[in-house]
Amino acid sequence: MDLILVILGIAGSAAIVIAAYVVAVTSRNYASQTKKLNTMGSAKPAMRLVPRSSKDRRDGKPVTFPLAANGILVANDRRTQTDRRAAA
């Protein structure tokens, strides 16, 4: 019985040491300020942000249907949530 308790104690201590090591390494990598290069090449191209101007926004104007967005006619509002885009 004592042998089983000693083995469980050693295994538990080893598990705690391994967990502490994993947490230390991952936190060091996560908090690192150096930029890491992606070693695996990605098939997707890098996403680029589209520059926006202030006139792209709604400016508080209500939306009325039917409307055309990017040349596509939207006949009615398909949103079901009543509190979506509620006035502030």
DSSP 6: H
Per-residue pLDDT averaged across 53-75, rounded?
A: 74
Instruction: State the pTM of this model.
Output: 0.37
Residue whose C-alpha is closest to residue 66's, from 58, 76, 80? 76
Percent residues over pLDDT 70 in the chain = 58
CA distance 8 to 81: 55
Q: Give the pLDDT confidence score for residue 59 in this predicted structure.
A: 66
Higher pLDDT, 5 or 47: 5
Higher pLDDT, 22 or 59: 22
What does the mean pLDDT of the chain come to?
76
